[in-house]
Structure 1
Amino acid sequence: MNATGFSRPRLIVSGDGRGVVGRTGSRLLADLAEVTGLESGFVDALAPTRQRSGGHAPGRVAVDLAVLLADGGEAISDLAVLREQPEVFGPVASDPTAWRVLNSIDAAGIARLRGARAVARELAWAQHAETRGTFPQAKAAGRVIPGLVVDIDATIVLCHSEKENATPTWKRTFGYHPLLCFLDNTGEALAGILRPGRAGSNTAADHVEALDLALAQLPDEHRHGTPVLVRADTAGCTHAFLAHIRTLREQGVDVRFSVGAPVDEQIRAAITALPASAWYPAIEADGQVRDGAEVAELTGLLYGYGTHLPAGTRFLVRRERPHPGAQLSLFDTIEGYRHQVIATDTPPSHGPLTWIEARHRAHARVEDRIRCGKDSGFGRFPSRDYAINQAWLELALTGIDLTAWMRMLLLDGALARAEPKKLRYRLLHVAARITRSARQTTLHIASTWPWASQLAAAFATLAQLPRPVTS
């Protein structure tokens, strides 16, 4: 007898089922590409690469690849999952065709894809405004961060075979070192640039390029009429990058920065000179006081420091008792605290320093975005050819956008905040029975599936979304 007192039902398994399809929820992603105008935009963007009039449009193939990556696929051969279900996804290109499409996307093609993504994003945001109202707001320490929050961070993507421009990295691994920009408000992947593994962490030119690409993705009314906060770790604390942000402000973009700053000798001297009265209790992500952590402002003690940074730059320091196993500098060991410093041009009138420091710590959310992104396409590059891998990264970012738009336009409650892996388990990979009657095709989701009503509601909401106007 089973030790638990229960036994699973005995099954006879056959492979001759009919009228059953899988990946039902992933059709939401494909339809979102259509209703936001992304698919038509991609078709136009890649029209110059089309080599013959018949067959699959390269832009449609690119959309199918983006859906595949959002669905959790890792290789072009995974297109078979979509291809073998034409009742749900329609005609899907063969693997060789997909390879040819990727191989045809050069730098100009990627630029056109980015332009199509920006146009689709503008429509998706307009659809959200019309159907759901207020745009999602980023928060820190229980308080809303006004406007938009752009997080920039780099990551290492390991390569286990020889690929063009895959090189040793600063972590003594081997692969690529892409730089990525995410919108904290919605989780959208605004921009990404693929770089060799040896690319420097604090290369200002790369940060400038990535930020400009990210801002170009924002609709005009948001780019020029909404405050934008740019957050980065210490890699972003360079004169050229921060001066570029100041230049953008002079051009009418209300953008400010919050970046990590290195703890050098002058910073350490200023920390040591701080009186006890300068320290204020740090706050947690929920706005409550964090035991054992304090925040202070260093700006007034750093005479002549940071003159290479834009005027008005402030320096805030946080200290807290180190957790077991923390790697500490000699200074931290002597002081008995772990210290972190940020540089920001946010004026004191915009909030107490404890909240401004907590606002910067929320930058850590970008690590979750990158972790999910690696599970959605850019954790594994398919080709030895660097140009193909650049196109792959752009399609992975597109898939991340489709997932973000699904959350913000079609889902509610916990599912609207769920990570991709949870969405796949609960919605995207659901099987259903397909029937046809009166020239209509119906998907019947099992009534016993716990999230059947949410998935059906998402499809109903999708059907009601305003459609783009076609000429």
Structure 2
Amino acid sequence: MPKPNCTPQTAADEVGVIDFGRLGRRKIEGRFDGGSMTSDAGVMLLAEVDRRLGLLGAAARCIADPRDPLLITHSVRDMLRQRVYGLALGWEDLNDHGALRRDVAMQTAVGVERDIASAPTLCRLEKWADRATAWKLHELLVEQFIASFESPPEEVVLDFDATDNPLHGQQEGRFFHGYYDSYCYLPLYVFCGQQLLCAYLRPSNIDGARHTAAILKLLVRRLRQAWPGVRVVFRADSGFCRQRILNWCERSGVHYIVGLARNARLQAQVALAELWLHDEYERSRAKQRLVGEFDYAAQSWPHERRVITRLEWGEQGCNPRFVVTNLEGDPQILYDGLYCQRGEAENRIKEAQVGLFATRTSCQVLRSNQLRMLLSALGYVLIERLRALALQGTALATAQVDTLRIRLLKVAAVITRNTRRIRLYLASHWPSAPIFAHAMSQLRSP
């Protein structure tokens, strides 16, 4: 009886010869049998950033491994490296790792010289997640943020924002959200500048500001432990203007600048100013803009608070905005120079959600989807630290993750591996070669 063929099927076996036509008298063919080649040689940069930060090694210690130690082939650390590097490289699906596990560049970056974990093994990793795992990984994000500063900062501005995470299955915690007009989760993100401190997955049948006060308290307490003299500013849109949050900020010495939803009383305060802007617009036909301030107290507030208003009148009529704050200073500087910069956090959320696939929450249970979101958050940290530590002064210093992936990480290489060395033969005429070499030099320097 003949033996069954146990040799893994390769891409060449599955696809065969690809016909590209002809060039003159020559026939052009392609086959997937080039041997040890990779399209992801940039994974070595990600591995070097990780080595410098110790990020995924620390993340592995946050996940309880229920396996028998004597039977473990793939450690939690190696699986996290494989999964997070894959996300940063654009491989968002677990099924992708059926082939990636044999990629020599990926194996080298992970730190092994054999096949890395299969898709089912990585799937089992997601099922080990629980509330304690999410808590510890969020602590790691905060500790990484603190460690990124060589000296204590004078001020940190914490941007809170919620967004939708669309769902297309029957996941746990799935609810319909009227504003987004879809079934979704409602994750809460916290950024400070470009750095991510929190990626908290929530069901969507709640107020968008739910849990904000608790998370803000925890963050402020830890930041003040590390930096006793730091000035903390809470910044958010009108969805986070809640009495409990403002009261706590005032009691705790935390500054805030938060959007305030329009209502009839606020409109009455600015009615005369809007009439004046209207008259000026009719006279000049040029868009009119005014930033002012007044004291205001909602019925639920214990006292009046400072409200900054930005009024505009143009071709489409009036467009008022209101912001409540306990900061001192010129209202126009506070509005234009501080509050409007809140929009930068939305760009960072887009990087995490779209560029690093935080919306791939197709697991059945919420805790596993929370882990997926945090794996994307860890990938975001690697990308952000790559920009900060290795790409300053280059053309890619401010590039978003999609651009970095195309121009720096997705590079072809032939790989040889023997008993003495592993060598990557990168493309000879790659346009980003100088930036790649500079980045690796910066990361390898003491």
Tell me the SS of whatever aligns to 2:69.
coil
Aligned partners of 1:310, 1:405: CA distance in 2, in Å? 43
CA distance 1:315–1:10, shift in 2 (3 Å): farther
Task: Find the counterpart in structure 1 of residue 109 from structure 2.
Answer: 89
Cα offset, 1:450, TM superposition: 1.1
Task: Find the counterpart in structure 2 of residue 4 from structure 1.
Answer: none
Tell me the SS of whatever aligns to 1:442.
strand
Counterpart code for 2:169: S
Aligned partners of 2:221, 2:99: CA distance in 1, in Å? 34
* 1:145-156 to 2 correspondences below 5 Å: 147-156=155-164
Task: Find the counterpart in structure 1 of residue 230 from structure 2.
Answer: 226
Task: Please point out which of 21, 31, 37 is paired with 1:20.
Answer: 37
CA distance 1:17–1:149, shift in 2 (3 Å): same
Task: Find the counterpart in structure 1 of residue 91 from structure 2.
Answer: 73
Cα deviation digits, residues 97-141 of structure 1 (max 9, x gap): 211111111111222222333344444444xx7xxxx98xxxxxx
Cα offset, 1:225, TM superposition: 3.1
Task: Please point out which of 220, 244, 249 is paired with 2:248.
Answer: 244
Cα offset, 1:167, TM superposition: 0.7
CA distance 1:64–1:401, shift in 2 (3 Å): same
Aligned partners of 1:399, 1:427: CA distance in 2, in Å? 15
Aligned partners of 1:246, 1:435: CA distance in 2, in Å? 62
1:299–1:315: 8 Å Cα contact kept in structure 2? yes
Tell me the SS of whatever aligns to 2:61.
helix
Cα offset, 1:438, TM superposition: 8.0
1:111 aligns with 2:106: no
Task: Please point out which of 286, 291, 295 is paired with 2:290.
Answer: 295
Cα offset, 1:322, TM superposition: 4.9
Moved over 6 A (4+): 275-279
Task: Please point out which of 334, 359, 362 is paired with 1:356.
Answer: 334
Bigger mean CA offset, 366-375 vs 156-165: 366-375
Cα deviation digits, residues 182-231 of structure 1 (max 9, x gap): 122xx22210211112222243xx21234345557759544x33323221
CA distance 1:438–1:386, shift in 2 (3 Å): closer
Task: Please point out which of 162, 165, 177 is paired with 2:170.
Answer: 162
Cα deviation digits, residues 237-284 of structure 1 (max 9, x gap): 1111122223432xxxxx3111110111110110014499999x9xxx
Counterpart code for 2:80: A
1:75–1:382: 8 Å Cα contact kept in structure 2? no
1:408 aligns with 2:407: no
Aligned partners of 1:104, 1:454: CA distance in 2, in Å? 39
Root-mean-square deviation (Å)? 3.1
Task: Find the counterpart in structure 1 of residue 344 from structure 2.
Answer: 365
- Unmatched runs of 5 consecutive residues or more in structure 2: 1-23, 281-285
Cα offset, 1:307, TM superposition: 6.8
Aligned partners of 1:93, 1:323: CA distance in 2, in Å? 59
Aligned partners of 1:36, 1:217: CA distance in 2, in Å? 20
- Unmatched runs of 5 consecutive residues or more in structure 1: 1-6, 136-145, 250-254, 282-290, 325-335, 466-471
Bigger mean CA offset, 100-109 vs 38-47: 38-47
Task: Please point out which of 400, 423, 428 is paired with 2:409.
Answer: 428
Cα offset, 1:11, TM superposition: 4.1
Task: Please point out which of 367, 381, 388 is paired with 1:387.
Answer: 367
Tell me the SS of whatever aligns to 1:319.
strand
Task: Please point out which of 41, 46, 54 is paired with 1:29.
Answer: 46
Aligned partners of 1:217, 1:296: CA distance in 2, in Å? 36
Counterpart code for 1:55: T
1:316–1:341: 8 Å Cα contact kept in structure 2? yes
Aligned partners of 2:148, 2:209: CA distance in 1, in Å? 33
Counterpart code for 1:174: Y
Counterpart code for 2:320: H
Aligned partners of 1:107, 1:436: CA distance in 2, in Å? 41
Aligned partners of 1:248, 1:63: CA distance in 2, in Å? 39
Aligned partners of 1:244, 1:214: CA distance in 2, in Å? 13
CA distance 1:60–1:293, shift in 2 (3 Å): farther
Cα offset, 1:236, TM superposition: 1.1
2:43–2:109: 8 Å Cα contact kept in structure 1? no
Cα deviation digits, residues 161-182 of structure 1 (max 9, x gap): 1111111012221111111111
2:167–2:362: 8 Å Cα contact kept in structure 1? no
Counterpart code for 1:370: I
Counterpart code for 1:161: G
Aligned partners of 1:323, 1:37: CA distance in 2, in Å? 54
Cα deviation digits, residues 333-384 of structure 1 (max 9, x gap): xxx3111111111112xxx211111121111122211222112121221311
Aligned partners of 1:64, 1:241: CA distance in 2, in Å? 40
2:160–2:236: 8 Å Cα contact kept in structure 1? yes
1:246–1:310: 8 Å Cα contact kept in structure 2? no
CA distance 1:261–1:399, shift in 2 (3 Å): same
Task: Find the counterpart in structure 2 of residue 139 from structure 1.
Answer: none
* 1:128-207 to 2 correspondences below 5 Å: 147-171=155-179, 172-184=181-193, 187-203=194-210, 206-207=211-212
Tell me the SS of whatever aligns to 2:77.
helix
CA distance 1:218–1:57, shift in 2 (3 Å): farther
Aligned partners of 2:176, 2:270: CA distance in 1, in Å? 36
Tell me the SS of whatever aligns to 1:105.
coil
1:189–1:397: 8 Å Cα contact kept in structure 2? yes
Task: Please point out which of 99, 113, 127 is paired with 2:123.
Answer: 99
Cα offset, 1:312, TM superposition: 7.4
Aligned partners of 2:222, 2:420: CA distance in 1, in Å? 40
Tell me the SS of whatever aligns to 1:31.
helix
Counterpart code for 2:78: R
Tell me the SS of whatever aligns to 2:289.
strand
Aligned partners of 2:269, 2:260: CA distance in 1, in Å? 14
2:291–2:331: 8 Å Cα contact kept in structure 1? yes
Task: Find the counterpart in structure 2 of residue 140 from structure 1.
Answer: none
**TM-score normalised to the size of structure 1?**
0.78
Aligned partners of 1:68, 1:219: CA distance in 2, in Å? 35
Aligned partners of 1:216, 1:414: CA distance in 2, in Å? 38
CA distance 1:89–1:388, shift in 2 (3 Å): same
1:156–1:175: 8 Å Cα contact kept in structure 2? yes
Cα offset, 1:31, TM superposition: 2.8
CA distance 1:248–1:433, shift in 2 (3 Å): farther
1:442 aligns with 2:423: yes
Q: Identity, % of aligned pairs?
A: 24
CA distance 1:225–1:236, shift in 2 (3 Å): same
Cα offset, 1:76, TM superposition: 1.9
